[in-house]
Amino acid sequence: MTNDKGRMTARGKFITFEGPEGGGKTTHARRLVEQLQAAGRQVLYTREPGGTPTGEAIRDILQHDKAGEAPCSETEVLLFAASRAQLVRHVIIPALERGAWVVCDRFADSTTAYQGYGRGFPVEQMIAINEFAINGAQPDLTLLLDLPVSDGFARLQQRGGQKDRIEREALEFHERVRAGYLAMAQRWPERFRVVDVRRPVEEVTAEIWNLVERVSR
């Protein structure tokens, strides 16, 4: 790749945050963005579903019941994929090509965990749909912020506020989601790193930074 002055530009790095509810993904993703910026990196922060006008409209349907009806499992999967395809092509790939680091709060693994392992949609079919949607934009590093489901929901209770459609699912559903994440971490150890978030925030932040520094070498 070259920049507008004809110089070669290194591809940026793509880092995703995943995990069960209450793990602090948004908090730690934003902390990482600040650390990368302080280190002189060009950084783009985004989220899934969302990150584009189309994606944000889909997010309202998926998480906040804007359509007024519950989507069937196939519709849910395809809506997530549609949001992801838009984000990848309009935001993520252009940012990586100009040398920026992209930090994304959830990505394709979330759909495999929640709709595949959680809802029972065929996992291999879910992975194939994700591959079509992401157009080769695999993360360089996936940080799985892990904690027991009961701990995560205790954190949500302390946080307060109205739960979204996914957070309102039964605990058994969320147990399947967590198990799915851990299964994916074993399946793709080259990019997954499991981070135990049952520790002080500063300890978790330090571990995440150490893992990210290894990717930049």
Sorted by where each begins, the domain ranges of the chain are 14-215
Query: Which CATH topology does 14-215 take?
Result: Rossmann fold (3.40.50)
List pLDDT tens digits, range 19-54. 999 999 999 999 999 999 999 999 999 999 999 999
Do 190 and 16 meet the contact criterion of CB atoms below 8 Å apart? no
Provide the terminal-to-terminal Cα distance of the chain, rounded to the nearest Å: 19
Percent of the chain beyond pLDDT 90?
A: 82
In which element (H, E) is residue 195 found?
Answer: strand 192-196
What is the separation of C-alpha 5 from the centre of its chain, rounded to a whole number of angstroms?
Answer: 34
Instruction: Could you list the beta-strand ranges (E) of 71-162.
Output: 101-105, 141-146
Peptide bond before residue 148 is cis, with ω within 30 degrees of 0: no
Per-residue pLDDT at 137? 96
Per-residue pLDDT at 146? 98
Per-residue pLDDT at 159? 84
Do 92 and 100 meet the contact criterion of CB atoms below 8 Å apart? no
CA distance 132 to 105: 20
CA distance 67 to 41: 39
Arithmetic mean of pLDDT over the chain = 93
Per-residue pLDDT at 5? 54
> What is the value of pTM for the model shown?
0.92
List pLDDT tens digits, range 125-162. 999 999 999 999 999 999 999 999 999 999 998 887 77
- Residue 210, pLDDT above cutoff 60: yes
Per-residue pLDDT at 135? 92
Cα 185–46–143 angle (5° rounding)?
Answer: 20
- Residue 167, pLDDT above cutoff 90: no
Phi, psi angles (nearest 5°) of residue 190: -70, -25
